[in-house]
Amino acid sequence: MDRELAIMNANQTLRGYGFTIKKVFCESNDKTFYVFTNEIEDALTAKSVLTRNENAFYYLLIESIVKPFLESNDDTFNFSEHLAIGITSANNLARKANITIILGEKIIKNWINQYWFQKIDSESKITLGVRTLAQKSGYLIRKYGLSACKHCSIVCFHGVKCSKCNVCWHEKCLPSNTLTCSSCSSPLLMDQICK
């Protein structure tokens, strides 16, 4: 039995308990992960192991990472420039959530170890990790108006985009030799920023 079929079968059972296994393509390191997620809306907040301040800190980090991407008018995409925050700036955000900087450093290190965030750019910056992408794609799409990959439904920052209807795909999610949009039959544009 291949991996995809095994995951599909497992998900049929897991969904009854509010969980699923998601295949997540991580654009920052070009790897594919399988992430066990809670499908109950905003599971990180509901019955969270995080304190209210830690939860606020988590969302402040997300906002500080995503906003530069949304505000950028560049035609090219670079994770460390458009979708990351410096470690020092991230640690300083802890104070806005009423957390000491020392505790903030420990929390960020823990979240990196748990794949909620990921170090990039010679480990001087952090970006969204695969668990945040898997668990919070719906939130990112609704809150910031980001694009979802038409194939996997995970937020897509950079990839293939339809020239007419702006539908996006991760390059790894698009079937090979596809040159036109499956929604409107218009030409597809490669290497595009998806907003």
pLDDT tens, position by position, 63-79:
999 998 888 887 777 77
Give the pLDDT band of residue 128 (cuts 50, 70, 90).
very high
Please report, rounded to a whole number, the percentage of residues in the chain having pLDDT higher than 70.
95
Give the pLDDT band of residue 14 (cuts 50, 70, 90).
confident
Each residue's pLDDT tens digit, 147-186: 999 988 899 998 899 888 889 998 888 887 788 888 888 8
Q: Are residues 110 and 175 in the same domain?
A: no
**Which position has the higher pLDDT, 56 or 192?**
56
Count the Cβ atoms, other than its own, within 10 Å of residue 71.
Answer: 8
pLDDT at residue 41 greater than cutoff 60 = no
Cα 145 to Cα 121: distance, rounded to the nearest angstrom:
26
Q: Are residues 86 and 122 in the same domain?
A: yes
Residue 164 belongs to some domain of the structure = yes
Give the pLDDT confidence score for residue 194 in this predicted structure. Answer: 85
Q: Are residues 124 and 170 in the same domain?
A: no
By residue count, the chain amounts to: 195
pLDDT at residue 62 greater than cutoff 90 = yes
Residue 177 belongs to some domain of the structure = yes
Residue 35 belongs to some domain of the structure = no
Given 118, 144, 170, which residue is the final one in a domain? 144
Q: Are residues 62 and 140 in the same domain?
A: yes
Q: Are residues 95 and 138 in the same domain?
A: yes
Provide the domain limits for residue 59. 45-144
